Structure 1
Amino acid sequence: MVECIIDTGRAYVMNSNRSLQEKTYIISGKEQLNLLDKISVLRKKVWPDFLRLSDEIIFKVYERYPDFQISLLNEERELIGIANSIPLTWTNSFSELPNEGLNWIMDTGLKREQNIRSANTLGALSITVAPADRNQGISKILLHYLKRVAITHDLMSLIVPARPNLKSMYPLIPIEQYITWKKEGLIFDPWLRTHCSLGAHLINICHRSACITATIEQWEQWTGVKFPNDGDYVIKEALTPVKMDYMNNLGTYIEPNVWVYYPI
């Protein structure tokens, strides 16, 4: 069990499993522009090369929507967690959220003119936690603070195209089947289980949440794996196989996520 108490600029985390109190600091807004180098380093430690948003894109998110980004620092002022999000306008039923998931949030927030004042929903892009600081409730702190950000800006909901991380161990299992698995009566996937424990509702699958296409050579550089023929290949950290097409010199990866909805 993790208990969170957050005030202006600081978050205090009590982890009962370790019987200690760890002091952490929350930073939001333009002050984070001074942390972009550290943010880049942390993201490169956590996200696989083929899936990680480029620095150019993520820095644009910070520049355009600084108040909707969260940085978490430990007592030594080391960056240990990041939450990225974009304000959106959504007027349809949440059951109709787009199949494109993460790609849709990025497209809406960066490629189109988005009026923050008319936004009514906060769309999360990612939660990033330093490897050495996992399993201490950091992701819950970040999600809690994203909800606080939504409240501050009078947004009515938080939506997340959640990446069920443990599915990378079962890349050949259809996502429709995987999300029905249970462990001791609870959802099998730990990240989806975390969302549910915080009061979220699982809405539906966004089958094309992340779509990555690149040359076969680029895929070999990203993964360190040789792809000698056409076909579907299982690669480390991918939720589904990547398809290689030698005639067009293309590798294509289409990742399904799960739409998660938090009423505010």
Structure 2
Amino acid sequence: MGNVAVTLAERPELEEQAIADGDIWPEFNLHGDTYLRMWPRLSKDLPAYQFSMCDDATGRVIAEAHTVPCWWDGTLEGLPGGIDDTIADAFDRLDNDQPVNTLCAVAAEIPTGGRGTGLAAEILRAMAVIAVRHGLTRMIAPVRPTWKDRYPITPIERYMTWRREDGSLQDPWLRLHERLGATIGPAAPASYRIEASVAEWESWLGMALPETGLYSFPGGLSPLAVDREKDEATYLEPNVWMIHDLSALTAG
């Protein structure tokens, strides 16, 4: 017995058992333009690339994962700007019948109780299987570093290089990707953009933003830029590109 990855194309009814995004992500993360406009299209238009991890004994959904097929030329310089750019490219290619060659691991959604259990590694391996199934030759991931919110004012370009005494990466999520054979690529400092009014941000964060300036806030990986005169606040969430070896992930 164990866990099994099942795509929405195989079992569309799994969408009814979906884990609420609010149980996974901070409230503010549910208000990016990409999330609001394009996230529903993942299950509707790319069901073969979205899957649930189900308990083999009970069939219960214990985690979910989202991926998109995209195009990457294989160079570090050719990597997209991050999540926003990659999802936009994926749907542009789908809508215009353009070729794809790469799987992008957009999100692994694991409830708190399932973290640190090995489930994340299972999800990454299942993503690699999907890539191979669709004839894709590469797999990339714009990783949201687990502990970056502890160091919100540290540039992602520095944070991503921090290592422990044993030589492994300090950040747990980056470290797992590297342990599974991924190589660390460049930073994506503006991977995911969220822009809204000051009042909206105050409601999401449960804190006052009384003047123009930069604010650190709970769960934020970088500061929030507030402009009271324009009544807007902008958050650019940084990610780190990890580049996977499909053969390493699918071996055995």
TM-score normalised to the size of structure 2?
Answer: 0.89
TM-superposed CA distance for 1:57, in Å, is 3.2
Structure 2: 5+ residue stretches without partners: 247-252
Partner of 2:141: 160
> Is the 1:82–1:128 contact (alpha carbons within 8 Å) kept by the matching residues of 2?
yes
1:94 and 2:76 aligned? yes
Partner of 1:76: 58
- Pairs within 5 Å for 1:7-156: 23-39=2-18, 41=20, 43-52=21-30, 54=35, 57-74=38-55, 75-91=57-73, 93-98=75-80, 100-111=81-92, 113-114=94-95, 118-156=99-137
C-alpha distance in structure 2 between counterparts of 1:55 and 1:82, whole Å:
18
Which of 195, 199, 202 aligns to 1:220? It is 202
Tell me which amino acid in the other structure corresponds to 1:229. Answer: E
1:238 and 2:220 aligned? yes
1:182 and 2:163 aligned? yes
Partner SS for 1:51: helix
> Is the 1:61–1:110 contact (alpha carbons within 8 Å) kept by the matching residues of 2?
no
TM-superposed CA distance for 1:79, in Å, is 1.9
TM-score normalised to the size of structure 1?
Answer: 0.85
Identity %: 29
Partner of 1:193: 175
C-alpha distance in structure 2 between counterparts of 1:60 and 1:140, whole Å:
26
C-alpha distance in structure 1 between counterparts of 2:230 and 2:36, whole Å:
28
C-alpha spacing 1:253/1:29, structure 2 compared with 1 (3 Å): same
TM-superposed CA distance for 1:37, in Å, is 4.0
> Is the 1:156–1:263 contact (alpha carbons within 8 Å) kept by the matching residues of 2?
no
Tell me which amino acid in the other structure corresponds to 2:119. Answer: I
What's the CA shift string for 1:132-191, capped at 9, x where partnerless?
111101111010010011111111110111111201011011112211211132110000
C-alpha spacing 1:27/1:228, structure 2 compared with 1 (3 Å): same
What's the CA shift string for 1:99-158, capped at 9, x where partnerless?
x21011111123554567821100111111011111101111010010011111111110
The alignment yields a C-alpha RMSD, in angstroms, of: 1.9
Tell me which amino acid in the other structure corresponds to 2:23. Answer: K
C-alpha distance in structure 2 between counterparts of 1:46 and 1:162, whole Å:
15
Tell me which amino acid in the other structure corresponds to 1:24. Answer: N
Q: Which is further off, 174-183 or 127-136?
A: 174-183
> Is the 1:32–1:66 contact (alpha carbons within 8 Å) kept by the matching residues of 2?
no
Tell me which amino acid in the other structure corresponds to 1:101. Answer: G
C-alpha spacing 1:70/1:115, structure 2 compared with 1 (3 Å): farther
> Is the 1:121–1:155 contact (alpha carbons within 8 Å) kept by the matching residues of 2?
yes
Would you tell me which structure has more strand in proportion to its own residues?
Answer: 1
C-alpha distance in structure 2 between counterparts of 1:55 and 1:132, whole Å:
27
Between the two proteins, the alignment pairs up a number of residues equal to 241
What's the CA shift string for 1:14-54, capped at 9, x where partnerless?
xxxxxxxxx2232113245323343251x210101111364
Q: Which is further off, 43-52 or 161-170?
A: 43-52
Off by >6 Å, runs of 4+ in structure 1:
none
TM-superposed CA distance for 1:59, in Å, is 2.6
1:203 and 2:182 aligned? no
1:229 and 2:211 aligned? yes
Tell me which amino acid in the other structure corresponds to 2:5. Answer: I
